[in-house]
Amino acid sequence: MKLARILRLDVSDDNVFDVPAPSGEWAISGGFEFSNWTEADLKGKARQAFSNGWYSIESGGRATFVGVCDITDAELEQLRQVLAQTFVECYGAPGIDAAYPVACEEIDQMRSMCEDFEDNTLLMVSRTLTELGVEETYRSRAPQDASLEAFAVHGSVD
């Protein structure tokens, strides 16, 4: 099973995002955060988060790049719980029972996308605001000589 982890290739995310995500955290698109946005919301660092920021499940921060890697069942379940709790605490979900299936759907969408790529593939997201809402597109770069282990800390099965 695969998911994506935040990659910090340099310090630029510190300058472009209000809350930069640390390298190694698990990531999803996070487009849900922008579902009610209008052009008026697209200013400054918020615009950068909207335009091309991946969402860290653990910190709620944003990053420009993520890399595909393996995830364990236990890690996946923990992320579902964390994201569901975030939906309750930060986004107004009425409770864990309502938030959990939505968290699963968000993570499963990302997991499904990652399954199409080999380990260490670099992913980028781009968003635009259309009359129908937020449109996301994704780009990828095949793995190079360095693996994600050079950038991200991977979980243990112990």
H-run or E-run covering 73: helix 73-91
**Mean confidence (pLDDT) of the chain:** 91
Whether residue 139 contacts residue 123, with contact meaning beta carbons closer than 8 Å, is answered with yes
Per residue in 6-40, pLDDT (tens digit) is 999 899 999 999 999 999 999 999 999 998 898 89
Domain annotation covers residue 156: no
| Residue ranges making up the domain that contains 32 | 2-150
Domain annotation covers residue 92: yes
At residue 110, the pLDDT reads: 97
Per residue in 101-150, pLDDT (tens digit) is 999 999 999 999 999 999 999 999 999 998 888 999 999 999 875 455 55
Domain annotation covers residue 158: no
Task: Write the DSSP string, 89-118.
Answer: HHH--S-HHHHHHHHHHHHHHHHHHHTTS-
Per residue in 25-83, pLDDT (tens digit) is 999 999 999 988 988 999 999 999 999 999 999 999 999 999 999 999 999 999 999 99
Tally of domains within the chain: 1
Domain annotation covers residue 155: no
Structure tokens at 134: 């937020």
DSSP 3: E
Q: What is the pTM of this model?
A: 0.87
Domain annotation covers residue 29: yes
Distance CA 76, CA 104 (A): 9
Domain annotation covers residue 157: no
Domain annotation covers residue 52: yes
